Amino acid sequence: MEMVQIGETLRQDAVTVVFVNVFLQQIGLPVPAVPTLLLAGSLMATPGDLGKVLAAAIVASVIADWIWYWSGKLFGYRVLSGLCKLSINPASCVSQTEARFIRWGVSSLVVAKFIPGFSTVAPPIAGALRMSQLGFLLAAGVGAGLWAGLALGTGWVLKDTVQAAIATLEQHAGNALL
């Protein structure tokens, strides 16, 4: 799909595109969500439109985190061990991640979205450690709001720059592929 098509799809149905993109990324697929959030933010005409897209991103993120939370609650550290097998250092992944989560507590869920890798393993750890579901959902929602809000807000504030970058990418896409 070309950049122009992506931009046009976002203009037509940004809420759905952002929801699906963020959900897939947060569930663990290698789908970049931040560029989509930046582009969506740059295309929003009003703060109300921006708010709808932000709400979609938060809901998608919290649903994905909630699935990981319940997988950790139901299957314990087996889920975390499976996720850690994909990491660079699987031997220390479980112990280091658990130590960070215990040291930082609920606040680790708020900052998890900003730490690559930790955003995927923090929710199942919360479930495995039997964190309260309400506390988990609140912390996951705050973290998702900060993460998505920062990307969308940056796109909105820098809309001219983002649009110029997209135009440049579109113009030189053929050369970039080579």
Q: What is the 3-state secondary structure (H, E, C) of 23-87?
A: HHHHHCCCCCCHHHHHHHHHHCCCHHHHHHHHHHHHHHHHHHHHHHHHHHHHHCHHHHHHHHCCC
CB atoms within 10 A of CB 161: 13
pLDDT at 2 over 80: no
Instruction: Please report which confidence band the pLDDT of residue 60 belongs to, taking 50, 70 and 90 as the band edges.
Output: very high
Contact present, 72 and 124 (Cβ < 8 Å): yes
Summarize pLDDT for 94-152 with one digit per residue, the tens: 666 677 777 877 788 888 888 777 777 889 888 888 889 999 999 999 999 999 999 99
Query: Helix 159-171 to helix 133-157 angle, to the nearest 10 degrees?
Result: 80
CB atoms within 10 A of CB 35: 15
Largest Cα separation within the chain, whole Å, is 51
Summarize pLDDT for 66-96 with one digit per residue, the tens: 999 999 888 877 777 776 666 555 555 666 6
The token pair that represents 3 in the structure block: 């950049």
Residue with tokens 């708010």: 51
Question: End-to-end alpha-carbon separation of the chain, Å?
Answer: 17
Got the DSSP string for 139-154?
HHHHHHHHHHHHHHHH
Instruction: Name every residue whose Cβ is closer than 8 Å to that of residue 56 and which is 6 or more positions away in sequence.
Output: 14, 15, 16, 18, 19, 22
Q: Give the global pTM.
A: 0.82
